[in-house]
């Protein structure tokens, strides 16, 4: 799928959306390998928001700006859902770094107001997570499982942020 009007940033957003969407089903498998079978079945909650990533390619064909706006917002919703499912100790909030990067690199200097608003939204989400404003997680996880989830989420979030940087490096 191509982005509307040759928008290279929207095309990059489509790449990121497909990468996330294609990797989502592997999260429970990775949880099973790294943490155990119980964590795998309980981590299926991470798939709940996955269908929203399909909106990004769909939007990109119609409006590059809408696709570039949607991706960090879908990532934000996905991150908040994961934090609610697994708790702040799981490291799921680290995905906000990649969302913040998308908010910065997804917009040109002319669209700085949008980028700034998204960065502030990511920061407010981080504060909400840090202050416990999302409430208790849906399930209480044993400390060992949380440590495993933290390691898994840290690695995945860092990999996603690196992909964002590499993919957007060629955008004008």
Tens of pLDDT, residues 101-153: 999 999 999 999 999 999 999 999 999 999 999 999 988 889 998 999 999 99
| pTM, two decimal places | 0.93
pLDDT band, very low/low/confident/very high, at 45 (cuts 50, 70, 90) = confident
In eight-state DSSP terms, residue 50 is G
Residues in the chain, total: 172
Read off the pLDDT of each residue in 159-172 and give the average, rounded to a whole number: 95
pLDDT at position 112, please? 97
List Cα–Cα distances, 3 to 22, 59, 93, 99, 100, in angstroms: 19, 8, 29, 20, 21
pLDDT at position 3, please? 62
């Amino acid at each position: 799928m191509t982005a509307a009007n040759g928008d290279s940033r929207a095309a990059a957003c489509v790449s990121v959306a497909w990468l996330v969407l294609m990797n989502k089903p592997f999260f429970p498998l990775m949880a099973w390998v790294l943490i155990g079978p119980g964590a795998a079945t309980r981590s299926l909650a991470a798939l709940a928001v996955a269908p929203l990533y399909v909106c990004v390619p769909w939007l990109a064909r119609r409006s590059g700006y809408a696709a570039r706006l949607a991706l960090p917002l879908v990532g934000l919703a996905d991150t908040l859902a994961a934090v609610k499912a697994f708790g702040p100790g799981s490291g799921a909030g680290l995905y906000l770094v990649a969302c913040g990067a998308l908010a910065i690199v997804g917009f040109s200097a002319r669209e700085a107001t949008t980028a700034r608003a998204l960065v502030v939204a990511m920061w407010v989400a981080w504060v909400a997570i840090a202050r416990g404003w999302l409430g208790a997680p849906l399930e209480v996880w044993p400390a060992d499982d949380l440590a495993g989830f933290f390691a898994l989420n840290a690695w995945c979030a860092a990999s996603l942020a690196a992909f964002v940087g590499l993919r957007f490096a060629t955008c004008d």
